[in-house]
A and B are shown apart, each in its own frame.
Chain A
Amino acid sequence: MAVLSTDVLSSLKDIDGVYGSFVVDAAGGLVLRDLPGVIDNAALREAGPRIARLWGAFPEDDPPDYVLLEFAAHQVFIKKFELGSLCIFVPPSVNRPALRMAANFLGRWLDKQMAAAPEAPPPVSEPVPEVHPSSPGKKRTYIFRGQRYEV
């Protein structure tokens, strides 16, 4: 079984300005991610099915190529490939032709890899939860011989 690694997504960062990316399958399930921890997997799992349904907004006689969501500070470039969608977070100033070419190339590669392992997609690497050392830990209360202790 082919193993999909997040390294394949890091190749997108060759394009100047790319923040990160993630991949969802045709149903919107999260397959891969290469994003900062500020966007957790729950958010991506929530967005995934809607991304998959986005392609339904295209005319029936016009196969979709990509969707670009423009937000205030960044854009999300969503490239459709046969077995899923590749979502890339980019700044507005990104080199669009280079990004499209990289997305096309990666989409074809993902099609091959996901077709080779359709039944068991690799687990998504969860981001390590950030620990704030300055925040105090939860105190536990003990009662020992009638005395109350908080540890």
Chain B
Amino acid sequence: MSAADDWESEAGPATQASHQAPVPPELGFVDAEEEDDEDVLEVEPEPAGEEELALHRAAAPAGSVAASSVAASSVASGAARAASSLQSSLHTLLQIESLSRTTGVFLVLSGDDSGYLHLVEGELMHAETGRLSGEAAAQEILSWRDASLEPSLRTLAPVRTVHSSLQGLLGHAGAEVGSQPGPQQTSRVAPRASAPGAPLDQDAPTETYLPPVSAAPAAVSGAELDREAAAGEGRAAQKTAAQTTAAQTTVAQIMTAAEVPSEEPARASALPRSVLPPPLPRAERESPSTVAEVVVSAAGELVQGRGAASEELAARVAYAARLAELIGRAIRSGTPRAVELRGKTTQTLVRWQADGNLSASLDLPQPSRR
């Protein structure tokens, strides 16, 4: 059993809830307008807790969280812990934490470097390394490659030192890395369409941050995907065990490339359209196909006609309307408002107008309205 599994088994619902620690009353967002007038208290770089660092470094080399330390942690979100065992990209994890509006302190480890990111409601409030703090520290941390994100026991900083949005910092870091000649960027987060620094659109689907399928490190051939689709359609029994294993590996590769904690969005975005279930058939809309329309006066004269055999239709309408009036009078129901004559192949709808005229239409049959 891996360390992540240990954590999953030990962390119950109560623990999960406690991870969303309330924001300390003394800690609040600094309004943009108040920023200039405010004396920003620079927080001294708090030295990294040696015990905590040692504990994290003693954990699995992949950066997974030790069970004991995670069980004691009370401020990190479940999304980060679950994803940390997958060696996910730092940027992607921070995107997830931002979208999850997480509150907590995270330890970032990259080789011999370490730093802390303080998040409140998904916004980066404070960052610190051994040498720097504030936005400088945040930019340095975000530039690290092969970094892992771990929950930390450290308390939230009481003062906000990072005033740029996390999205803006991520975009800036991504642009800097992209401008460098070497393949420094390890984050596979797709660049946002909006300008860096733009406020995070909470309603935007998270899939926009996922990399395209072609960006997957292990290219998936169409044949493998077809095999997986065949397995999904119940024809897996006809496939060999080697093919099944290959398909499972393919899914794992896609999932790793997508780097999302949830399975379904990754599947939906990574698999080709042929693998996805076919769309539901479009419901047929009731579209009355009118063959003819007439307006008949109270005296039975054709006032207006359109379509084929409007004269005959007018005569039939006048006759039916007169009979309907007599029937209504006989059964003490008054004058009808409308008459619907439904045949096997046609439908005639007659309506009494306010001016005494009759309007009628000859349509092809359509489903019953009620």
Contact = CB atoms under 8 A, between A and B. Distances in A.
A43 B332 contact: yes
Nearest to A74: B333
A70 B346 contact: no
Nearest to A53: B323
Nearest to B368: A96
Interface in A51-82: 51, 53-54, 56-59, 61-72, 74, 76
Given A57-B320, A96-B369, A71 B330 contact: no
Given A59-B343, A66-B342, A97 B368 contact: yes
B38 to A, nearest CB: 65
Interface in B343-364: 343-346, 348
A83 interface: no
B323 A62 contact: no
Given A64-B341, A96-B370, A56 B330 contact: no
Contact of B341 (A39, A67, A76, A100): A67
Nearest to A52: B323
A51 B370 contact: no
A147 B342 CA distance: 70
Contact of A47 (B327, B340, B342, B346): B327
A76 B337 contact: no
Nearest to B349: A68
B338 interface: yes
A64 B323 CA distance: 16
A50 interface: yes
B342 A68 contact: yes
A23 B45 CA distance: 95
A95 interface: yes
Bin the interface of chain B by size: 20 to 34
Interface in B306-334: 312, 316-317, 319-320, 323-324, 326-328, 330-334
B336 A70 contact: yes
Contact of B324 (A38, A46, A66, A69): A69
A71 B319 contact: no
A56 B319 contact: yes
Given A64-B341, A68-B340, A95-B370, A57 B332 contact: no
Given A62-B343, A97-B368, A71 B336 contact: yes
A68 B348 CA distance: 11
A110 B368 CA distance: 24
Contact of A46 (B330, B343, B344): B330
Contacts of B346: 59, 62
A11 to B, nearest CB: 21
B339 interface: yes
A67 B350 CA distance: 11
A54 B343 contact: no
A43 to B, nearest CB: 5
Contacts of B312: 59
A44 B333 CA distance: 12
A47 B330 contact: yes
Contacts of B340: 67-68, 70
Contact of A65 (B319, B334, B344): B344
Interface string A89-101: 0000111110010
A68 B327 contact: no
A39 B332 contact: yes
Contacts of B344: 62-65
B363 to A, nearest CB: 12
B343 A47 contact: no
Nearest to B369: A96
Contacts of A94: 370
B323 A50 contact: yes
Contact of B334 (A56, A57, A72): A72
Given A47-B331, A56-B319, A70-B337, A64 B370 contact: no
Given A57-B341, A57-B348, A71-B335, 9 more contacts: A39-B332, A43-B330, A47-B327, A50-B323, A53-B323, A54-B323, A63-B343, A76-B333, A96-B368
Interface of B: 312, 316-317, 319-320, 323-324, 326-328, 330-346, 348, 368-370
Interface of A: 38-39, 43-44, 46-47, 50-51, 53-54, 56-59, 61-72, 74, 76, 93-97, 100
23 contacts: A38-B332, A39-B331, A39-B332, A47-B327, A47-B331, A50-B330, A54-B320, A54-B327, A57-B316, A57-B341, A57-B348, A58-B343, A63-B344, A64-B343, A67-B320, A68-B339, A70-B336, A70-B337, A70-B340, A71-B333, A71-B334, A96-B369, A96-B370
Nearest 6 CB-CB pairings of A with B:
A57-B320, A62-B343, A47-B330, A96-B370, A68-B340, A46-B330
